[in-house]
Amino acid sequence: MVIGVASATSAAAGSYETPATAGSHETPAAADFYGDSCEGLADLGLADVNQISAELVTTGSFKDPEGEGQDQEDLPEFCRVALTVEPQVNIEVWLPTDTYNGRFQAVGNGYMAGFIAYSSMSPALRAGYATASTDTGHPDTGTSGAFALAENGERNWQLIEDFASRSLFELTKKSQQLIEAFYGNEPEYSYWTGCSTGGRQGLMLAQRMPAAYDGILSEAPAINWDRFLVAEMWPQVVMHQDLGGPIPTCKLELATEAAVEYCDPLDGVVDGLLEDPRRCDFDPASLIGQETPCGVFTEGEAAAIQKIWDGPRAADGSFLWYGLEPGAPLGDDPAGVGETGGVWEPGEAGWDRLAGTNPFLVSEQYIKYFVLADPDWDYRTLTYEGFEQVFRQSQEMFNDVIGTDDPDLSAFRDSGGKVLSWHGWNDRMIFPMGSIDYFDRVQEELGGDVTDFARLFMAPGVDHCAGGPGPQPVDPFAELVDWVENGDAPEQLTAQRVENDQVVQTRPLCLYPAVAQYTGTGSIDEAANFECLTGPVD
């Protein structure tokens, strides 16, 4: 089986380039204590480690030991260290030999983790980085949340804490110790990269281990975990409570297409993208009575779609969390994460759109196992009143554990760390306004402009970590390295759309809160004809 969460880290596992400054380094020699022996690392006494192995990989290939479809090719020679920290946190550290560039890059997971991200470690290794990943301490791969419950039906707080944070701290400490032992020196620079859950992990480290990393690339981060995962169930509650079941996909797609067509001109160029969806005031009621291949568009369906876009509200109408943006895809994804052929069963991967026939499985699993601790819970029984109760309970129980939204990054700032984050406006899973909400609160907490160490970029038309009709960010990790090592803070990120292996469009992704605006001359497919401007949001 190919792990369904591999795509969640694909953006962070892009085509890395060795930093321009790497040429000034001599390749460090392994520590004399081990006499250049990779295998000798297995004898290193590491606290709380109950199992460790080390082997030199010289074949250029690596076979995923779990058979999960992450086999790798074209690898340089490296020392592979696999270890287990009590009780069951598995960590792998890959140490390049002749190609080491003096730097460390740890990589994050996706979804509920439960796997070593070999597909993200390999690009880092090829670029000369020592690299590491952890399964976060539980055996349930990808979308399952069953690990949160012990056999006696009680919450397994050890595994929950390991997943939320402890595994990340252990990965960091153990990797640094192994790097120093093998090369004789600490890495000159340490980086974290990850998207989705991996993005959340990076910000968790910035908040609770602030001196550990010089640079963190946090893409579409799954922060605000205790709120957004419950909010992902909101479309299902709306459709079942108001309509008795899901809205047909063709009607949901019609609403999305109509919203984009209506609001597209607001940014000054008609290109199928909403530069800032917050300005879009399209009313789905305008579609009532329209004939579609799946029936007449009804008043109830229009009202339900508006609720889905608005996001969860309490019984008194007050704000709970954000909703999907008008450009984000709704309805069933024909491919489906789990390729279930149209039938979803508990335990299988679910579709990755929130307003589809079935709920997004990670949300369903989180509510079932983490919040309610009830393996028999059926999402179709969730009422509006019950939704608010679950939302409040999740906040109370898990914000401190895994919310990852502490805005006080002063210690990270003071340690000299840099965090670069970006989020796609068409994200179908993690509400992009959650990233804006967090960065706004960081600025409020620290008294104003924080762009000296923290920068956020919004990507119009880009889906979760990648995909969608919008131009995709091009190697933001290289931008982070340049910022950390050369002091060149990015004012914008380059993005491009590729068709048939050809770049057909480029655009700047602007430093939040600026947005890209067409200058009025030249091709709308060339980044040079756009400028980043800051203006009020209607």
Digit-coded pLDDT (tens) for 226-266: 999 999 999 999 999 999 999 999 999 999 999 999 999 99
Query: How does residue 34 score in pLDDT terms, banded at 50, 70 and 90?
Result: very low
- Domain extent, residue 157, equals 31-187
In a domain, 508, yes or no: no
The one catalytic residue in 267, 427, 437, 463 is 427
Burial of 444 (0-12, 13-18, 19+ CB in 10 A): exposed
* 72 and 146 share one domain: yes
**pLDDT for 352:** 58
Tokens of 31: 């520590």
* 183 and 237 share one domain: no
Domain count, the chain: 2
CA angle 177-182-185, nearest 5°?
70
In a domain, 239, yes or no: yes
Q: Please tell me the least confidently modeled range out of 318-322, 356-360, 466-470.
A: 356-360
Q: What is the mean pLDDT of residues 468-497?
A: 97
Is 196 an active-site residue?
A: yes
Assess whether pLDDT exceeds 90 at residue 497: yes
**pLDDT for 112:** 94
Q: What is the mean pLDDT of residues 30-52?
A: 78
Tokens of 173: 């400490």
pLDDT over 90, % of the chain: 83
Is 144 an active-site residue?
A: no
Query: How does residue 69 score in pLDDT terms, banded at 50, 70 and 90?
Result: confident
* 249 and 379 share one domain: yes
The one catalytic residue in 138, 240, 423, 464 is 464
Pairing of strands 103-107, 502-510: unpaired
Residue where a domain terminates, one of 338, 367, 399 = 399
C-alpha closest to that of 422 among 469, 368, 461 = 461
* 155 and 289 share one domain: no
Residue where a domain terminates, one of 153, 187, 221 = 187
**pLDDT for 66:** 81
In a domain, 53, yes or no: yes
* 183 and 50 share one domain: yes
- Tokens 């393996």 map to which residue? 375
Assess whether pLDDT exceeds 80 at residue 188: yes
Assess whether pLDDT exceeds 70 at residue 190: yes
Query: How does residue 213 score in pLDDT terms, banded at 50, 70 and 90?
Result: very high
* 261 and 381 share one domain: yes
What is the spatial distance between Cα 89 and Cα 174, in angstroms, rounded to a whole number? 12
**pLDDT for 142:** 74
In a domain, 516, yes or no: no
Mean of all residue pLDDT scores within the chain:
90
CA 531 from centre of chain: 27
In a domain, 167, yes or no: yes
* 237 and 92 share one domain: no
Assess whether pLDDT exceeds 60 at residue 93: yes
The one catalytic residue in 119, 175, 196, 363 is 196
* 261 and 393 share one domain: yes
In a domain, 499, yes or no: no
Asked if residue 249 lies in contact with residue 331, where contact means CB atoms within 8 angstroms, the answer is yes
pLDDT digits (tens, 9 = 90+) for 364-421: 999 999 999 999 999 999 999 999 999 999 999 999 999 999 999 999 999 999 999 9
Assess whether pLDDT exceeds 60 at residue 106: yes
* 261 and 371 share one domain: yes
* 155 and 283 share one domain: no
**pLDDT for 140:** 78
Query: How does residue 92 score in pLDDT terms, banded at 50, 70 and 90?
Result: very high
Burial of 67 (0-12, 13-18, 19+ CB in 10 A): exposed
pLDDT digits (tens, 9 = 90+) for 428-455: 999 999 999 999 999 999 999 999 999 9
Assess whether pLDDT exceeds 80 at residue 479: yes
**pLDDT for 332:** 79
pLDDT over 70, % of the chain: 89
In a domain, 306, yes or no: yes
* 142 and 240 share one domain: no
In a domain, 369, yes or no: yes
Q: How far apart are the first and last CA of the chain?
A: 47
**pLDDT for 13:** 36
**pLDDT for 334:** 58
Please provide the DSSP assignment of 294-347 as one string: TEEPPHHHHHHHHHHHH--B-TTS-B------TTS--S--SS-SS--TT---TT
* 241 and 180 share one domain: no
The pTM of the full predicted model, rounded to 2 decimals, is 0.91
What is the spatial distance between Cα 276 and Cα 122, in angstroms, rounded to a whole number? 35
**pLDDT for 257:** 97
Query: How does residue 136 score in pLDDT terms, banded at 50, 70 and 90?
Result: very high
Residue where a domain terminates, one of 399, 416, 447 = 399
Assess whether pLDDT exceeds 80 at residue 221: yes
Assess whether pLDDT exceeds 80 at residue 207: yes
Q: How far is CA 370 from CA 90, 221, 397, 426, in A?
A: 22, 20, 9, 28
Query: How does residue 37 score in pLDDT terms, banded at 50, 70 and 90?
Result: confident
